[in-house]
Chains A and B, each alone.
Chain A
Amino acid sequence: MNQTPALHIEDLTVAFDSRPALWDVDLVVPEGVLMAVVGPNGAGKTTLVRAALDLIPRAAGSVRIFGESVARARGLTGYVPQRSSVDWDFPTTVQDVVMMGLYGRLGWLRRPGAAERLRTRQALEQIGIADLATRQISQLSGGQQQRTFLARALVQDARVYFMDEPFAAVDAITERAIVTLLQELRARGRTVVVVHHDLQSVPDYFDQVTLLNVEVIASGPTAEVYSEDNLRRTFGGRVAGIARLTEEALP
């Protein structure tokens, strides 16, 4: 049990306009778990994901991925940004977007070829949108956009994935498809960190959970840390029915 963790964050502080969005965050995500990151709006969940991937400057602290610096672990990480972070009117097709997940591996000057097209095809099929392959991305529904991003992450073939609200505004069928995908990834030993909003489903879907509100309130196995008390401390008692929620979920 002294494996290198998939993600190891120490003393991480991130500030915007000298206001901290994350304060002294310590976080360890062991390999092979599905972890939810939960917290109110503006708690710094997106910021945590972006800092873990070194997309924004840190004021303090360090991030290690499988013991390596983020820059050296680029080939090991996969990323599903918040859906609203891109312009969906960009002139391109679903299969093109999915193929972008392979650009990092291709390296400079090389173009996607038959192997990349095959890999793209497989990911589209696995996520259940093979019929949308040549669809213009501006013609996708929200759930289809989300699946496109997931397929793109899938072809990255990463060891640790960061997903920012993949369940936001998707219907029940898509939600189930995403959960199935998460479980498949775990079965293959992959680690997934998911920013999640639905408090109800946390115990069903995730092995571990991090409760975040600028600081880490609690982090660890869901059964241990997903308690009424911790939720209250994270959301400041503003969430109606927290008690009921955790009673139902935990025996």
Chain B
Amino acid sequence: MSLAGGRNWRTVAVLLALSLAVIPLSLALGNIRVDYTLVTVAAGGAVLGIVCGVLGSFAVLRQQSLLGDALSHAALPGVALAFLLAGRELGWLLLGAGIASWLGVLLINSLVRRTRLKQDAAMGVVLTAFFALGITLLTYIQSRNDASQAGLDQFIFGQAAAIRRQDVVLISAVGLAAFLVLIALWKEFKLITFDPAFAQANGFPLRLLDVTLSTLIVIAIVLGLQLAGVVLMVGLLIAPAVAARQWTRQLDQMLALAGIFGGLAGAGGAIFSGLQQGLPTGPLIIVVAVAIVALSISLAPERGLLWRAWRQRRDRQRFAAQQVLQDIHRHATQHRDPRYPAPGGMLVALRGTLARPALRQLQREGLLQAGADDDWTLSERGLERAREAARNQLLWERYRQFGEELGLPSVTVDTQQPIDRLLPATALTRLETLD
């Protein structure tokens, strides 16, 4: 669509390439032997990470990050009950988790609606109650000394090593279905996330869409439980979205990036935990995810801390250079000779410590010539540039004063921009011929 959009898709592509490169690189550096189990575990982690990252973006944007936490904790008793009823079969365990999560949402919502509890308090109550029940049930199951119970506690902190090939297939199929729903309802989800009242006023069934989107988020949580565990699940849901938000100004790009980051965190965490028996996956996923968040917050263009500091510095230098160029031009005009040199000392007195680097930069760009005695003269191009800037300044000034009166189109006044680019030629002529 726009230039900005194009550049950002390029950013997405670059980050995707980097993420894809990180995994073989770390395998090589860590001297890790690639075998069938490792590939399965990594694939499972990646798929889960992608699903959680993409759907988690909506949780973040709807400011429901904490709800995600409550939901994942609420899933635990469902897992335990499903095990008691149906045995250790992933499909059943996930179904149990999903139902328990859903009951959790309903309970939270009705607590908020029927009592004076605020949402955070309601979530706190439900989260702890369900989690406590889940732990109790798990302890009971373990006390039965049933061999098949082995690894059920992986649901607390996550255990990638337990993921089998058919699990990956199941997770991929459910994730794919969730994505199809997301694509089909894309504009509706976008609308209810940004402005639910406006969606309703346009006749969209807000409740139904709300429930559908929440269901997708619950699905992501449930799928991710085995890998990340109920305690840290929320991290896999939230962190990729938070990191992705730093890099882009478009929803579709944010979701794509969150998917990439989630995939990287999921695969990375799964591989690391596969290195050693019994290393829990959840915490390792969070370590990778948080590293991505930290990198994004400091490095991302526009929002990143380092980037902002760098731009501020660059802007200050650019403004100083512009001003120094104007100063020299004005000085020359006063002496009725466009090539009249300006003494460096005077410029420093006018613009302070930034004047020296500005002079050097202008000289590098061929806009200034240095005289023998710290004298500075405009070159042909420098003169042209200074005149152009002076004209731009003047036209903006006139636009600010008379634009309304002349009925010119309204644009945001930004004297750093060439006015020619923002106003049509006819409007410029009118401003130029003013007097």
Contact = CB atoms under 8 A, between A and B. Distances in A.
Among A74, A75, A91, max chain B CB count under 10 A is at: A91
Contacts of A106: 187
Interface string A54-92: 110000000000000001001101010100011100111
A100 B191 contact: yes
B249 A93 contact: yes
B197 A104 contact: no
Interface in A20-64: 50, 53-55
Contact of A134 (B4, B187, B191, B411): B4
Interface in B85-103: none
A131 B418 CA distance: 13
Interface string A217-241: 0000000000000000000000000
B200 interface: yes
A205 interface: no
Interface string B56-75: 00000101000000000000
Interface in B171-223: 184, 186-188, 190-191, 193-195, 197-204
Contacts of A249: none
B204 A91 contact: no
A80 B248 CA distance: 27
Contact of A91 (B199, B251, B411): B251
A91 B249 contact: yes
A109 interface: yes
Given A91-B245, A93-B250, A131-B422, A85 B61 contact: no
B248 A134 contact: no
A177 interface: yes
Interface residues of B, number: 37
B404 interface: yes
A225 B1 CA distance: 51
A112 B197 contact: no
B194 A92 contact: yes
A97 interface: yes
Contacts of A112: 187
A103 B187 contact: yes
A122 interface: no
B297 to A, nearest CB: 15
B187 A131 contact: no
Nearest to A133: B2
B2, B191, B201 — most chain A CB neighbours (10 Å): B201
A71 B248 CA distance: 37
A100 B250 contact: no
B296 to A, nearest CB: 14
Contacts of B30: none
A90 B250 contact: no
A111 interface: yes
Contacts of A96: 250-251
Interface string B245-257: 1001111011000
Contacts of A50: 197
A104 B245 CA distance: 27
A92 B249 contact: yes
Contact of A79 (B1, B193, B201): B201
B415 interface: no
B203 A90 contact: no
A132 B195 CA distance: 20
B151 interface: no
A55 B191 contact: no
B145 interface: no
B130 to A, nearest CB: 29
A128 B188 CA distance: 28
Contact of A85 (B193, B195, B199, B411): B195
A104 B204 contact: yes
Nearest to B200: A55
A63 B429 CA distance: 53
Contact of A92 (B198, B202, B251): B251
Interface in A98-151: 100, 103-104, 106, 108-109, 111-112, 128, 131-134, 136, 138, 144
A152 B191 CA distance: 12
A173 B410 contact: yes
B345 interface: no
A75 B204 CA distance: 11
Interface in B320-374: none
Contacts of A111: 186-187
A30 to B, nearest CB: 22
A81 B195 CA distance: 9
Contacts of B254: 91
Contacts of B195: 81, 85-86, 100
Contacts of B1: 134
A128 B250 contact: no
B410 A77 contact: no
Interface string A186-220: 00000000000000000000000000000000000
B249 A79 contact: no
A104 B203 contact: yes
B202 A74 contact: yes
6 contacts: A55-B200, A79-B197, A91-B253, A92-B194, A111-B187, A131-B422
Given A90-B193, A96-B251, 6 more contacts: A53-B200, A53-B201, A55-B197, A74-B203, A111-B186, A134-B2
> What are the nearest 9 A-B pairs in CB distance?
A104-B202, A74-B203, A134-B2, A128-B410, A136-B249, A79-B201, A53-B201, A131-B411, A86-B195
